Amino acid sequence: MDAAPLDARWESSSLQALVVIKRETLTLKTKKTSEEISYYISNFIRKDNDLAVYYDLMKAIRGHWGVESNNWILDVTFNEDKIRIKTPNQAHIMGRLRGFALQLLRKSGVKNLQAAMEGFANSTSSMEAMIRQVKFL
């Protein structure tokens, strides 16, 4: 939470804060940790030693990580970036359906999304059981 004055070249911008976050990630499969530093800029008005401002910034950053995580899962598990659809409306609808499917799988407690999807492709009864479990049907 150390504040430093902005360099003069940034004074005409509405930049108020540069947030530096050091993140440590544990890969469960290999039990290895890695470190990453992320930088975020904000035009959020900074007040000296106002913890509420810092908490709001952290909340926004964590929310952004959730969005990025969903995007990665949709790309890797659902191959979303490789799907070619001819009409924009169709792309929007399919994107929503994939997002909905992801939320259903999460709500059901599935740990391995890819394995669950492959299992559902071979057994509609297991997919129906999962949908009933989350009280969708």
Q: 34: part of which helix (H) or strand (E)?
A: strand 32-42
For residue 35, what pLDDT is reported? 93
Parse the chain into domains and list their residue ranges.
1-68, 83-137
What pLDDT, in 10s, does the model give residues 117-133? 888 888 888 888 888 88
- The answer on pLDDT for 60 being more than 90 is no
For residue 47, what pLDDT is reported? 66
Q: Closest by alpha carbon to 42, among 10, 72, 8?
A: 10
